[in-house]
Structure 1
Amino acid sequence: MSIHSLPTAFAEKIAEIIPSDRLGNVLESFTLEKNIAFRINTIKADVQAVKTSLLNKGFDITEVDWYKAALIIPAHQKRALTETNEFHAGEIYIQNLSSQLAPIALAPEAEETVLDLAAAPGGKTTLIAALMNNTGRLSAVEPVRDRFFRLKANLDQQGVTIAKTYMTDGRSVGKKCPEMFDRILLDAPCSSEARFDLNEADSMSHWSPAKVKETSHKQRRLLLSAFYALKKDGILLYCTCAFSPEENEVSVAHLIKDFAEEVEVLPIQLPESFPKEVIQNGLTSWKGKALPAALQHAIRILPNEQFDGFFMCMLKKKA
């Protein structure tokens, strides 16, 4: 399938979001068979030992210099990776680099109190635990029953012992747990536009402008709940795997409007060697309407053969 097979309304929208000199590469990314990224689980395993073992088994490994526990292999080696002892022992976790970046940017520290508000299937939760050296207090929330038990299984397999899991609607957490958390990750349910794959028509079948609008309303309520649950001087990372500003900058703009004196948008601190060519700053206007200028500190990760499309915005609750 060609890029002309993208939903028309989405193709028109993305042309308004992405600068013209970068648009072609972004559109081409929807046709690519992507490399497989994964990370070594430092809770259970030594990075160099696992890397050496996989090299000895014949895997064609590319290292990721901005996160030493992350590795990349060609797509055709994915099945073989899932058949290794390391995979079954929970010493590795298959996870796109964009998804790995979110916990790294959140930068949780050992002994902090941290919340993952939309946690299933648990990839980011387990990385948060690893970055905390499996010490501190980590809460993981997921409302959907089958996804909740998948989350619990992944946490167990990855050796996470600091996490408490809650099968509840994230929109209720802020009132139940006011100002309880030092850091919060909200990887909000979204229209999953970054997962469009022109080789799989079903990946786009759920999408519509109405779906984007419906999802954005839920995201705003989740974001509000997360903000209530955040301690003063706490850090909240809001992210989605959508391109639509309605789900990203516009959702954050609603929070800024309601809590203008209490919320600050922070620049996202990326690893020094992170590839700058995949970064686009957040939008400060959309459809002719101005958005808060501070949203320029948000970022989009533009998709290519290694990265999925991703949006991130870092917020601080001012004391």
Structure 2
Amino acid sequence: MGKLRKQICQCVLDHFERSYGKELGEAWATAREMLISPQYWQYAVLLNKFSSPSELEKHLHLKGYRRLFECILPSLKCYISGTPGRFPAQRHAFGKLKDYYLLNAASLLPVLALAVKDGEFVLDMCAAPGGKSIAILQCASPGHLHCNERDRERSQWLQQTLESFIPEHVMSSVTTWELDGRQIGQLWPGMYDKVLVDAPCSNDRSWLFSSSVQQATLRIAQRRRLPSLQIQLLRSAIEALRPGGSLVYSTCTLSGAENGDVIAHVLNNCGNVLAEDLSDMAAAVSQDFTLATGVHHGLLVLPDRGKAWGPMYVAKLRKI
């Protein structure tokens, strides 16, 4: 319950009020209410197929949890509850795999959109803390999965996450790097079938509870530079893709400048990519997620009453 005692950072909230009030209109009022109220936040339970937690599935059913994405991707065992609350977390224990991973259910949408198939070469360009890498390995058996995280501390966090969920025989097809994602395209051009760019962004939930005014002020100042970084990462991802390969770009912010504007810039300036249509996926998840209207080149999950997932923006590009 520690998050409930955190104080909202007023300067961040004021900044969001000005920008999101204009961008989202009436939808901002509800999203705002959910973002500033951690007691309403919901958490999904992603089961680990490598530890076969059948008893846990029964327990979740008894507690009123239900399966999410079952018709879209049966191999992904994700459970959600209709009421706010957080399932107890598991501690890291050396030599023992964890049974489940707790996460915002919307963060699985980029993995669904990526649609990894067995044998494919896959890059998770900004992989820490590791939830999406874990989800990819629940969905398929890639020929190789490269998990990259530039920051040393976050890279160690990523490595521990992988070791907690993935057995050694599967880890033999997983490599972790600490590279600048902007350089990967030049280092390994045309190498990957699929690339996930879960980009550094204005993390709306986290930023609203900044630990100090100084930290918040620095974040707001840095925000203007994020689209440039995101575009550079996307250009690198495109270069790393083989012709016909696809990438998914995602963020956990409501910011149009970091979402649709970034994708529009890449589409307007890179003649070798096309936007993929995500309308089928949007229709399939619309019962469980509130999706913003009028979003170009992707979909945006808005935190809503009873569906307090997101923010999460997802767009998909194919290299031609």
Distance 1:41 1:191, change over 3 A: same
Deviation at 1:196, TM superposition (A): 4.5
Structure 1: which 4+ aligned runs deviate by more than 6 Å? Answer: 1-5
Q: What does residue 68 of structure 2 align with?
A: 65
1:145 matched to 2:152: yes
Report if the CA contact (8 A) 1:37-1:306 is conserved.
Answer: no
Distance 1:165 1:135, change over 3 A: same
Percent of aligned pairs sharing the same letter = 24
Deviation at 1:253, TM superposition (A): 2.0
1:9 pairs with one of 5, 15, 28: 15
Deviation at 1:149, TM superposition (A): 1.5
Report if the CA contact (8 A) 1:116-1:141 is conserved.
Answer: yes
CA distance in structure 1 between the aligned counterparts of 2:91 and 2:128, rounded to whole angstroms: 23
Deviation at 1:272, TM superposition (A): 5.5
CA distance in structure 2 between the aligned counterparts of 1:19 and 1:91, rounded to whole angstroms: 41
Report if the CA contact (8 A) 2:126-2:147 is conserved.
Answer: yes
Distance 1:185 1:279, change over 3 A: same
Deviation at 1:273, TM superposition (A): 4.1
1:202 matched to 2:211: yes
CA distance in structure 2 between the aligned counterparts of 1:2 and 1:152, rounded to whole angstroms: 31
- After TM superposition, the structure 1 = structure 2 runs for residues 159-178 of structure 1, keeping only pairs within 5 Å, are 159=166, 160-161=170-171, 162-178=173-189
Task: Give the partner amino acid of 1:66.
Answer: F
TM-score (ref. length: structure 1):
0.82
Task: Give the partner amino acid of 1:177.
Answer: W
- After TM superposition, the structure 1 = structure 2 runs for residues 206-245 of structure 1, keeping only pairs within 5 Å, are 206=216, 209-245=220-256
1:279 pairs with one of 291, 307, 313: 291
Distance 1:271 1:176, change over 3 A: same
CA distance in structure 1 between the aligned counterparts of 2:206 and 2:310, rounded to whole angstroms: 7
- After TM superposition, the structure 1 = structure 2 runs for residues 57-206 of structure 1, keeping only pairs within 5 Å, are 60-67=63-70, 69-72=77-80, 77-78=86-87, 80-82=88-90, 89-132=97-140, 134-159=141-166, 160-161=170-171, 162-197=173-208, 200-202=209-211, 205-206=215-216
CA distance in structure 1 between the aligned counterparts of 2:258 and 2:86, rounded to whole angstroms: 34
CA distance in structure 2 between the aligned counterparts of 1:226 and 1:267, rounded to whole angstroms: 19
Task: Give the partner amino acid of 1:280.
Answer: A
CA distance in structure 2 between the aligned counterparts of 1:255 and 1:18, rounded to whole angstroms: 23
2:51 pairs with one of 44, 48, 60: 44
Q: What does residue 309 of structure 1 align with?
A: 311
CA distance in structure 2 between the aligned counterparts of 1:222 and 1:274, rounded to whole angstroms: 28
Which secondary structure state, in structure 2, belongs to the residue aligned with residue 222 of structure 1? helix
Unpaired runs of 5+ in structure 2?
Answer: 1-6, 71-75
Distance 1:255 1:271, change over 3 A: closer
CA distance in structure 1 between the aligned counterparts of 2:89 and 2:311, rounded to whole angstroms: 24
